[in-house]
Structures are given as structure tokens and as C-alpha cells.
Amino acid sequence: MGTILSIEQFKPIRKRIEEEGKKLVFTNGCFDILHTGHIRLLKWAKTTGDKLLVGLNSDSSTRRLKGDGHPILPQDERAEILSSLACVDYVIIFDEDTPQNLINEIIPDILVKGGDYRPEEVVGRETVENAGGKLLIFPLVKNHSTTKIIQTVIERFCDGK
């Protein structure tokens, strides 16, 4: 089970991970309604290193990225859900639109993103690669998205409204 931390609380943990010669894996997202695509990405990300840190977009960040009506679940609930997964070691909520500042602070060894991104589009890639780390892209899990779940709920329970 993971721990929800601030960046300041995580910094000494990051140092210890590095001193122990272990690999820190980082991924991020809004994780508004957790679905199979998210779970598969997180489980796979964990297998690529020793510790998995998930950067979670805050409520205001999610709203700016996804629009009004988002997030469906508040950040504290999303963080608790993520931290309850066996594959997630740490969760940090960040308020910026991208995790660049968080990546700059922790410099993970491995950066994981979903297959809906091309390598040149991944925020933090240069920071990680310049420090000797690597970017890994997880293949997109087709037909699994928060948008699709929301649309299904609307169609089934709101007469398409």
C-alpha cells in the first residue's frame, strides 16, 4: 500500500532509494475514474523498477486540463484509491498543469507514460534522459478511458443527455 506525501516529505525517501541502488519509476495523470487501462499501466510501470511514484493532478489542475465538470472524484479520494493499489508505493499531488517541476525535483530513473503519447511529447523526458534515465511508453489499452465511461453512464442512465 502506498503513501500520500508532499514533495518535501518525499525528498529524503528519494535520496534513500538512490543510496540503496534502487530504481524509481514515475508516472502521472488525473486518474479521475480508475479503469483497466490505468491499472494495467500502473502494474506494468511497477515491474520496470523498484519503487513507483504516481504524480496526481490536483483538482484545479484536472479542471484546467479536462474542463468544467472534472474531476469527478476529488483529489484526496483519487490519491487514496491510487495509494491503496499494491503496485503504487507513493502518491504526490501536484497543482501545475504538467509534472515538469515535480520531475525536476525528484529526477526519476524511469519515466512511464501511456501509448497515447509520442516520446517527443512526454513532459520531463529530457530531464530524465539527461540524468541517465529512460522513458518507457506503455501500449495504449484500447476502448478504456474515463471519457468513455462517462459517456456510457450518460447514455445508460440519463437518456443520452
- Answer for the pair 52, 46: CB distance below 8 angstroms, yes or no: yes
Helix (H, G, I), strand (E, B) or coil at 57: strand
Q: Does this model's pTM top 0.85?
A: yes
Domains, in order of start, for the chain: 3-157 (3.40.50.620)
Which residues sit opposite 24 in a β-bridge? Answer: 51
Specify the DSSP class assigned to residue 50.
Answer: S
Closest CA to 30 of 100, 68, 82, 83: 82
Distance CA 137, CA 1 (A): 24
Tell me what pLDDT residue 143 has.
65
Tell me what pLDDT residue 69 has.
87
Closest CA to 136 of 153, 117, 155, 154: 117
For 156, the grid coordinates are 445508460
Tell me what pLDDT residue 139 has.
84
For 73, the grid coordinates are 472524484
The stretches in the chain having pLDDT less than 70 are 1, 141-154, 159-161
Tell me what pLDDT residue 22 has.
98
In the block, residue with C-alpha cell 516529505? 9
